[in-house]
């Protein structure tokens, strides 16, 4: 595959399932527009979205969106009055990033002879769907595709058949006497 569209950080981020959010993330959840500004609590799903957003940023989501859209102001947040603070994704920015990343993943699998309608049948090796019904990467799908982008050996299944981004050695059949 040609050069990656993502500019990845030097260190790989940990798998999303193992990441932990800040002890009291209410302020950040509001700032990033994951929850409404007047919300007093949040859900586990809100926290998971925040963790996914941070991983996406570590993998170069801001640069990726900038190349795709040129103007990303509506998709990012920055602390008011602090021009030195990092630019971060808001919820709309993460959703836009996930859409573009999902399109890139669909293109990747198409190059591996997976028809567009068949992407909904792709699973990871633990039989978890790679794409949701809307064609967006699921959490396991996002992890799997990020590993592909990082040029790690990855396997997945299509209708139960194992596929990979590397050549799988076939087991030698036993010789008969």
In angstroms, the CA 87 to CA 79 distance is 8
Q: How confident is the model at residue 169 (pLDDT cuts 50, 70, 90)?
A: confident
Per residue in 103-140, pLDDT (tens digit) is 999 999 999 999 989 999 999 999 999 999 999 999 99
Decide if pLDDT at 148 tops 80.
yes
Q: Which residue has the higher pLDDT, 74 or 84?
A: 74
Name the DSSP letter for residue 142: H
3-state DSSP assignment of residue 158: strand
Q: What is the pLDDT of residue 174?
A: 60
Decide if pLDDT at 154 tops 50.
yes
Looking at the whole model, is its pTM more than 0.85?
A: no
Q: What is the pLDDT of residue 93?
A: 97
Q: How confident is the model at residue 177 (pLDDT cuts 50, 70, 90)?
A: low
Q: Which residue has the higher pLDDT, 124 or 81?
A: 124
In this structure, how many other beta carbons lie within 10 angstroms of the beta carbon of residue 108?
Answer: 15
Of 7, 11, 15, 54, the C-alpha closest to 149 is 7
CB distance 23 to 68 below 8 Å: no
In angstroms, the CA 55 to CA 78 distance is 17
Decide if pLDDT at 163 tops 50.
yes
Q: What is the pLDDT of residue 18?
A: 39
Q: Which residue has the higher pLDDT, 171 or 135?
A: 135
In this structure, how many other beta carbons lie within 10 angstroms of the beta carbon of residue 74?
Answer: 10
Per residue in 45-69, pLDDT (tens digit) is 999 999 999 999 999 999 999 999 9
CB distance 15 to 52 below 8 Å: no
Phi then psi for residue 42, to 5 deg, are -150, 165
Q: What is the pLDDT of residue 155?
A: 96
Name the DSSP letter for residue 165: S
């Amino acid at each position: 595959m040609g050069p990656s569209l993502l500019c990845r950080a030097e260190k790989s981020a940990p798998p999303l399932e193992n990441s932990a959010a800040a002890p009291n993330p209410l302020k950040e959840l509001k700032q990033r527009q994951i929850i409404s500004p007047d919300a007093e609590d949040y859900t586990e799903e809100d926290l998971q979205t925040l963790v996914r957003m941070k991983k996406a940023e570590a993998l170069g989501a801001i640069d990726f969106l900038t190349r795709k859209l040129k103007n990303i102001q509506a998709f990012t947040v920055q602390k008011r009055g602090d021009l030195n603070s990092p630019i971060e994704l808001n919820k709309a920015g993460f959703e836009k990033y996930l859409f573009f990343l999902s399109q890139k993943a669909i293109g990747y699998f198409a190059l591996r002879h997976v028809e567009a309608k068949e992407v909904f049948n792709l699973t990871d090796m633990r039989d978890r769907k790679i794409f949701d019904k809307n064609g967006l990467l699921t959490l396991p799908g996002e992890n799997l595709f990020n590993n592909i982008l990082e040029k790690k050996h990855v396997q997945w299944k299509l209708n139960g058949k194992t596929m990979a981004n590397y050549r799988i050695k076939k087991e030698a059949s036993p010789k008969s006497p």
